Amino acid sequence: MSPLLNRTQLRGTYTAIVTPFTRNGEVDWVRLRDLIEWQIASGVDGLVPVGTTGESPTLSMEEHARVIEETIAAVAGRCRVLAGTGANATNEALELTRLARDAGADATLQVTPYYNRPTSAGLIAHFSAVAELGLPVVLYNVPGRTGREIPMEVVLELAKHPGVIGIKEAAGNVDRVSRISRECDLAVLSGDDALALPMIAVGARGLISVASNVAPTEVVALVRAALDGRFHEARQRHLRLHPLFGALFIETNPIPVKAALAMMGRIEEAYRLPLCAMEPANRRMLESVLRSLELIGS
């Protein structure tokens, strides 16, 4: 087993990889492995299976575990795997995290429990219980999905736990990244493609990306330029990709990114309800952006 991922190593571009389905609604294991090979060949630093983009809410527990296991097996140590194993119930998060740990994941991405709205004390107890399993924890702050931020006092308290190594910041708040970077040594990863550049400028160490599903080489180049301090180059790359960043969120993620990958011939365009196909006008707009970036032919 490889050494546990630490705060210094959590750096670079991590693709929040989609979970492809077949036309009959089953997980498409062949396409998943094909996507993983393409991502690794494109230079990503890691993959995040079964996060928001991986449609975790509609996977069964067995499918969830198998996507993680298949990803780790296909990666075979060639990049990091941050397994999405968060849940509303702490017991469920613990079960999924044990499975990911035993399968060989490098770390776990832990979303804020939603709907049951735990207090700050409850959040600290929840994340600490997961961290005690021995698999490094990356907190996932995404209030647009969960209805609340992880309060700063909770982040700073959890930063004292040696098993909590980072936080994915998807709140659209660069100021939070500045404060986390100033007040503790957690590794911050941007959770917003469009904010990767400014977040890295104030201390973030990388990006968990949706856009790298469809443009991995370009997103990797943007993040590396920013991390290396080549900000003029990073700005140019950011501006080129900016229309894509917006187009991939014109409807609920991961609808547009799966539509884009289908247009590129890499997956079937298949979702599980309540997610469904894009509105025609939005599809035309997405297609236009993909053409402009030469990701699909004219």
Catalytic residue among 114, 115, 160, 168: 168
Dist CA 267 CA 289 (whole Å)? 19
Q: How many CB atoms lie within 10 A of CB 122?
A: 14
Asked whether the beta carbons of 56 and 145 are under 8 A apart, the reply is no
CA 285 to chain centre: 24
- The CA-atom distances, in angstroms, between 77 and each of 1, 29, 52, 81 are 10, 19, 23, 9
Helix (H, G, I), strand (E, B) or coil at 15: strand
Dist CA 96 CA 102 (whole Å)? 10
Dist CA 15 CA 256 (whole Å)? 15
Dist CA 234 CA 237 (whole Å)? 5
Residues in CB range of 91: below 8 A, 6 or more apart:
none
Dist CA 37 CA 134 (whole Å)? 28
160 is catalytic: no
168 is catalytic: yes
Question: Tokens standing for 203?
Answer: 């201390």
Q: Is 248 exposed, middle or buried (0-12, 13-18, 19+ CB in 10 A)?
A: buried
Dist CA 265 CA 243 (whole Å)? 21
Nearest of 220, 200, 198 to residue 209 by alpha carbon: 220
Dist CA 179 CA 203 (whole Å)? 9
Catalytic residue among 14, 140, 258, 271: 140
As annotated, the active-site residues are 140, 168
